[in-house]
């Protein structure tokens, strides 16, 4: 859930998100629908009206992250607050990485990650350009 007040985004952080406590984006509408599928407006005819944000996202310095069996078995990056070595989860799961990043770009792979996802950790990296209301037929 994202609210805008005085020109600033205020996301509701979910601590068990797969790739950390960031704001999640994708360039594929089917994945974006998975994000919006939990909340909808029930119409008088019984149909559901969904909302999707179309945003400009600045990834700045991004970490290209690939999901492996080891990553999956150790809980992905759940609980990570920021992709930097001072973050406990980041340090435990990616000890070889000594650089801080502004975002993650999660690449799709055959079975473990079907869609490309982008995760940013600062609301200043996001500009919501459009609100899209839609129904699934």
User: So what's the pLDDT on residue 120?
Assistant: 95
Query: Which of 15, 13, 35 lies closest to 115 in space, CA to CA?
Result: 35
Neighbours of 92 (CB within 10 A): 13
Query: Which of 137, 100, 116 lies closest to 29 in space, CA to CA?
Result: 116
| Strand stretches in 12-115, DSSP E | 23-25, 41-42, 48-57, 62-66, 103-107
On the question of pLDDT at 9 being above 70, the answer is: no
Neighbours of 131 (CB within 10 A): 9
pLDDT digits (tens, 9 = 90+) for 50-105: 988 899 999 999 999 998 888 889 999 999 999 999 999 999 999 999 999 999 99
Confidence of residue 40 (pLDDT cuts 50, 70, 90): confident
Mean pLDDT lowest for which of 4-13, 16-25, 72-81, 88-97? 4-13
């Amino acid at each position: 859930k994202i609210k805008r007040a005085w020109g600033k985004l205020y996301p509701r952080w979910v601590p068990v998100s797969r790739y950390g406590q960031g704001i999640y984006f994708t360039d594929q509408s089917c994945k974006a629908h998975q994000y919006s599928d939990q909340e909808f407006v029930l119409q008088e005819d019984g149909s559901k009206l969904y909302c999707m944000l179309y945003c400009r996202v600045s990834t700045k310095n991004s970490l290209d992250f690939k999901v492996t069996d080891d990553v999956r078995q150790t809980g992905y990056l759940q609980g990570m607050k920021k992709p930097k070595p001072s973050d406990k989860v980041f340090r435990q799961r990616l000890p070889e990485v000594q650089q801080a990043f502004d975002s993650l770009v999660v690449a799709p792979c055959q079975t473990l990650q079907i869609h490309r996802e982008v995760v940013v950790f600062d609301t200043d990296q996001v500009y919501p350009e459009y609100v899209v209301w839609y129904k699934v037929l």
